[in-house]
Structure 1
Amino acid sequence: MDTVVQWNIRGFRRNFEDLKLLLNRSQSAVVALQECRLGEGQVPPRGYTLLLPRGGSPGGEAALLIRNGTRFSEIDLKTGLHAAAATISLEKTLTVCSLYLPPNSPVSKLSLAELFEQLPKPFLVLGDFNAHSPAWGDSRRDGRGRMLEEFTAENDLIILNSGEQTFVHSAYHSTSAIDLAVASPSIAAECSWAAHSDLCGSDHFPIFLTFTSNFSSNVNTTSFNFKKADWNRFGDLCKLSLDDSVADIERFTSKLLDAARSSIPFHKGTKNKIRVP
């Protein structure tokens, strides 16, 4: 079963030996790297091809490693964002994009939309978004996190994160969840997400995405159609069913999903993991 890895490596040369160990252990078909800080002439680990941003995308901060023998087609992205992408043949064909969004650089829905529109479906966008939101396990919500929540909902995208922390601040030892895996709906149900227990020399944990045995088949998937949601009804149902007495997380989630099913229609002909709105 093929594995895809994403990792903010915090310096390709600095953590090159750790990267080689990670590749040897995981035998990953594809690795999406961020904060590579690459210069010209960088040699990839043995057995892998290194893809850097092409076209209008600035280089050095995002890259893909693709295992030799894996069929792929590089995508010439037209974007000002730090991104590299390729369409790759695993059990089935999908697009993998590595993305790095610096914390202090402005990012708009438009710039994200222009990038995502260039990615053939199904796709995985893997990267350090530097976006905070409880929706994917962070303890706080910032402006970029709120924008990303809206962007994924408006474009029917699924964030695969489990809620685990992905970043450890080297000075304060605080943690956050800023490394995200964003998927188109058709592959989300067949993909599992897990963070490594070792930082491997970086301040971000490597993240492993593995596909189920159903990945090679054509599976119709389903998600909520947020564009047709009755948000007033959803809010009213939440007020009625959610109160201080709902302390158990499973019961809370169940009641929240009941409210969603009663006020948000599904896309037709789909059946997939349900996203909590």
Structure 2
Amino acid sequence: MEMKILQFNIQSLKRLGNKVLLELCLNNNQIDAAILSETWLNSNIETSMNGYNFAFSNRPDGFGGVGIYLRKNIKFSTFKINSEVENVGITTLNLNRNINIISLYSTPNTNNIQFKNGLDKIFTHIRQLRGPTLIVGDLNAKGASWDNHTTNRKGYILENLANDYNFRCINDGSPTYAVNSSNASAIDVTFINDNVRCTWKVINKLTNSNHNPIVVTVHSKFKAKTSTSKIITSKVLKDMNEVKVGHNLEEFIKTCNSTIQKNTIKINNSNKYIPKHWWTDTSQRLFRLRNAARKKYNQYKTMQNLELLDIAEKNLREHIKEQKNKNFSEVIDQISNPSCAKEMWAKIRNLKKYQCEKNVNNSWNTQDSIKYLNHITRQRSNNPNNDNSDANSNSNNEGIVEMNIENFSKFLNSRNLNSAKGNDPISYKMLVQLKDEE
């Protein structure tokens, strides 16, 4: 499976409309990776894009910058090289043949010595990487290998370093940058270091950038590895709790294997997501009706279709809410009547979407206190041994030591002064240091 890559000096990803146009281009052309330079980003700019992850390196002044968008089904690790040339790189992790991709940008103001030192650091780091490596970016370098019109000193440096490290340029000589038709040049370059067949093509302008986007197609087996099956662990544990262990080991192993096989489902392209266990056939039917109503309204935006869409969304929303409440009640019942404490806490830890504050004191209000007192009162009135219980409580109270300064001092002296502080936070050591008022 080939890998389609978009190379583009976008000249500001934050400029109005540029990210939207880029997203449309990626989806329409089925691009696997977009390698950008001059992103002009800072920490406050939204960079998320549907279906893609983003690795980037920004400049403190909000100009320059490089980034790589990669499809979400491709897992990768990110690296940055300490260099005078701006860079960010990724290494894919789950492809049949993994690849390294590095985005570079060098400003026109970078002098030749800084340019050479920066590129030398980058090529030295690349030598340690495994698999094919693709280097792309705007380096403001003009060389005879990729620019038929003009050359400069930076282009000569880049050509020599690429040859020394066995990289070849795959540009076809087409200009990639032009302020006007009279000074077109090729300063966006693409290098690869492996004997991989690639095609390189400049496409029509995408934004108001002075650079043209480039589509690089790497012809190799880059298909993402996907798991064909998934074990539903929660159901396996539930079934194993009911298994009776006998004296026959082979029979027990056979039971375990059959339980795992029973709770293993196949995953294919049409079944990427595992539905929640409270999702029923009714849920699926209402979900499809909602989608059909939405599609019909998007095609024919009439009041009638809008009303049908509102009804479909309301039905689905109410059904989901009902199913969640029902499921939550069932979980609470299971927690309230556990077979063991370990099982109870395991279920509580699994309630990721229903986490509450650890400090539960704030959740106990006056009404709850009144209900609790009424509950205790009813218990005492229904207890025929009230007199005996009162006598027992009185006898227990007789053993309680009166709390005064002397007894409290004895208590403190019996404590470990190095104990951790409480919620106050006041330690025993602090209390010991207190003195009586004169």
TM-score (norm 1): 0.70
CA distance, structure 2, for counterparts of residue 130 and residue 60 of structure 1: 13
CA distance, structure 1, for counterparts of residue 40 and residue 215 of structure 2: 22
Assess if the C-alpha contact under 8 Å between 1:32 and 1:64 holds in 2: yes
Give the C-alpha shift of residue 214 in structure 1: 6.4
Task: State the secondary structure of the residue aligned to 1:84.
Answer: strand
Q: Which amino acid aligns with 1:210?
A: T
Aligned to 1:200: 207
Give the 5 Å matches for 1:43-62. Answer: 43-53=47-57, 61-62=65-66
Is the counterpart of residue 35 in structure 1 residue 77 in structure 2?
A: no
Aligned to 1:125: 135
Give the superposed CA RMSD: 2.4
Task: State the secondary structure of the residue aligned to 2:125.
Answer: coil
Give CA-to-partner distance per residue, 1:13-47, whole Å, 9 cap, x none.
22212211211122211111000001114322211
Contiguous gaps of at least 5 residues in structure 1? 217-277
Give CA-to-partner distance per residue, 1:194-223, whole Å, 9 cap, x none.
11122433111111111225678xxxxxxx
Q: Bigger relative contact order, structure 1 or 2, given CA contacts below 8 A and separation 6+? A: 1
Task: State the secondary structure of the residue aligned to 1:153.
Answer: helix
Match of 2:198 among 185, 191, 205: 191
Match of 1:75 among 79, 82, 91: 79
Task: State the secondary structure of the residue aligned to 2:142.
Answer: coil
How many correspondences in the alignment?
A: 212
Aligned to 1:19: 22
Aligned to 1:141: 151
Task: State the secondary structure of the residue aligned to 1:32.
Answer: strand
Q: Which amino acid aligns with 1:128?
A: D
CA distance, structure 2, for counterparts of residue 135 and residue 81 of structure 1: 21
Match of 1:66 among 59, 66, 70: 70
CA distance, structure 1, for counterparts of residue 118 and residue 136 of structure 2: 16
Q: Which amino acid aligns with 2:79?
A: I
Give the C-alpha shift of residue 183 in structure 1: 0.9
Task: State the secondary structure of the residue aligned to 1:96.
Answer: strand
Assess if the C-alpha contact under 8 Å between 1:39 and 1:60 holds in 2: no
CA distance 1:76–1:178, shift in 2 (3 Å): closer
Task: State the secondary structure of the residue aligned to 1:192.
Answer: strand
Aligned to 1:95: 100
Aligned to 2:190: 181
Structure with greater strand percent: 1
Give the C-alpha shift of residue 53 in structure 1: 2.4
Contiguous gaps of at least 5 residues in structure 2? 224-438
CA distance, structure 2, for counterparts of residue 62 and residue 85 of structure 1: 10
Is the counterpart of residue 109 in structure 1 residue 91 in structure 2?
A: no
Structure with greater helix percent: 2
Task: State the secondary structure of the residue aligned to 2:88.
Answer: strand
Q: Which amino acid aligns with 2:6?
A: V
Stretches of 4+ moved more than 3 A in 1?
Answer: 213-216
CA distance, structure 1, for counterparts of residue 154 and residue 13 of structure 2: 27
Give the C-alpha shift of residue 103 in structure 1: 1.0
CA distance 1:65–1:151, shift in 2 (3 Å): same
Assess if the C-alpha contact under 8 Å between 1:53 and 1:59 holds in 2: no
Could you say which structure has the larger radius of gyration?
Answer: 2
Give the C-alpha shift of residue 111 in structure 1: 1.9
CA distance, structure 1, for counterparts of residue 200 and residue 148 of structure 2: 16
CA distance, structure 1, for counterparts of residue 26 and residue 63 of structure 2: 23
Task: State the secondary structure of the residue aligned to 2:27.
Answer: helix
Give the 5 Å matches for 1:211-230. Answer: 211-213=218-220
CA distance, structure 1, for counterparts of residue 28 and residue 49 of structure 2: 13
Q: Which amino acid aligns with 1:5?
A: L
Task: State the secondary structure of the residue aligned to 1:105.
Answer: coil
CA distance 1:167–1:150, shift in 2 (3 Å): same
Assess if the C-alpha contact under 8 Å between 2:83 and 2:119 holds in 1: no
- Calculate percent identity across the aligned residue pairs: 27
TM-score (norm 2): 0.45
Q: Which amino acid aligns with 2:167?
A: L
Match of 1:152 among 158, 162, 171: 162
Give CA-to-partner distance per residue, 1:53-106, whole Å, 9 cap, x none.
28xxx9851111111111111114222321010102445101000000111112
Aligned to 2:436: none
Assess if the C-alpha contact under 8 Å between 1:94 and 1:123 holds in 2: yes
CA distance 1:147–1:40, shift in 2 (3 Å): same
CA distance 1:43–1:108, shift in 2 (3 Å): closer
